[in-house]
Amino acid sequence: MGEFVIKMPDVGEGVAEAELVEWHVKPGDPVREDMVLAAVMTDKATVEIPSPVTGTVLWLGAEVGDTVAVKAPLVRIEISGEGEAAAPADDKPAAKAEEKPVVKAEASAPVAKPAQPAKVEVKAPAVNGVHQPGERLEKALASPAVRLRAKESGVDLRQVTGTGPAGRITHDDLDQFIARGAQPVLAPAGLQRKTAVDEIKVTGLRRRIAEKMSLSTSRIPHITYVEEVDMTAVEELRATMNRDRKPDQPKLTILPYLMRALVRTIAEQPAVNAIFDDGPGIIHRHHAVHIGIATQTPAGLTVPVVRHAEARGIWDCANELNRLAEAARTGTATRDELTGSTITISSLGALGGIVSTPVINHPEVAIVGVNKLAIRPVWDGTQFVPRKIMNLSSSFDHRVIDGWDAAVFVQRLKTLLETPALIFVEA
């Protein structure tokens, strides 16, 4: 029998390390060739690591949440034959454990084994000598006579604080408890005090999101501008185009119209389509419009990117949007499809609320938030008429975008969406 060492592969150009987010095996498990052993994540893209050999797992080189360097030993597998020349037979896996070139998720504390959320039971203290209703204590210390009196009086001795030796409950303790009228009130079925605490380790995509949001809010001074937009004309146009669409064309939502309106507005307000490298203090103003679409997935929030929106029509934008959203939700989106945006749209759909304060996708300088569309009465000069109104909540990097320029940008978007024919007019 021999030993085969699987090392952390190069999961992307320029990537020196990746976070281990999932193990599919444990020591002692048999594995076969091409079986998935683990999943690692870098830049929001998850990569599965298969086994190139058949054998038995001897040792795992990292734990969930660890950051592992490229080419670091990850798994040792016992195989038939001599194994790898680089792994001598007397090289015990346990002895090699200390050689793991792994950066722990929390350097100040030992890494815990992956486990179910721990539950910590906390007992409430007695209040005024009387334990809280529903509190489960050990069996009360009392004489048989006191127990009989308590049973006849309908008193749970576990609710009575004893003043006798070792906390023994005396007749006087029982008399005082009854005199106070402090008999325990039993909670209705299903209404019980709960004191458990679940401890959930933040790993994988959730940790990436936390780091990204912390970076954005700590580095970027946000200014948020909110404006009402009358979407009645867009909704009428959308209904017509969906009714007349070809079998191979997707059903249109509001987002493709907003994407095209963004392209037209950016042509007039190019400052918002930029990346701010705040280290050397350089603004990279892009001519290409790469629109990130914030997408909720079962694993968390991701931002797939519709590249070169300036070269796409309404139907092309819708097709690419659907493709990327599906890839993000199924976890098959590539690293290139999840990076490189120059401006982002954040839409909460039907849950959009009235107003939001979207966080800028660092290092971009602007994000457009879509709120819920609702029918509201609007005064047309002579009467109130029903109109389909939607708020846009847009945030800007105040280091780069002044409040006036932010307002001009949003007002131009409003004009294009309220008169959607302008979206299709050639510049």
Active site residues: 398, 402
And the tokens for 73? 């030993």
Residue 401 structure tokens? 């975008």
Q: Residue 294: name the closest of 19, 25, 44, 42 by CA.
A: 44
109 Cβ partners below 8 Å, 6+ apart? none
Which of 398, 399, 351, 403 is CA-nearest to residue 372?
Answer: 351
Query: For residues 303 and 345, what is the distance between their CA atoms, to the nearest angstrom?
Result: 9
Q: Of the candidates 252, 257, 264, which has an alpha carbon nearest to the alpha carbon of residue 231?
A: 257
- The continuous run of DSSP H or E covering 371 comes out as strand 366-379
Output DSSP code: residue 28: T
The DSSP annotation for 267-329 comes to: HH-GGGSEEEETTTTEEEE-SS--EEEEEEETTEEE--EETTGGG--HHHHHHHHHHHHHHHH
Tokens of 91: 């090289």
Supply the angle between the helices 171-179 and 144-153 in degrees, to the nearest 10. 20
Number of C-alpha atoms within 13 angstroms, CB side, residue 387? 18
- For 384, the enclosing helix (H) or strand (E) is strand 384-397
Residue with tokens 């105040």: 398
Q: Contact at 8 Å (CB) between 58 and 27? A: yes
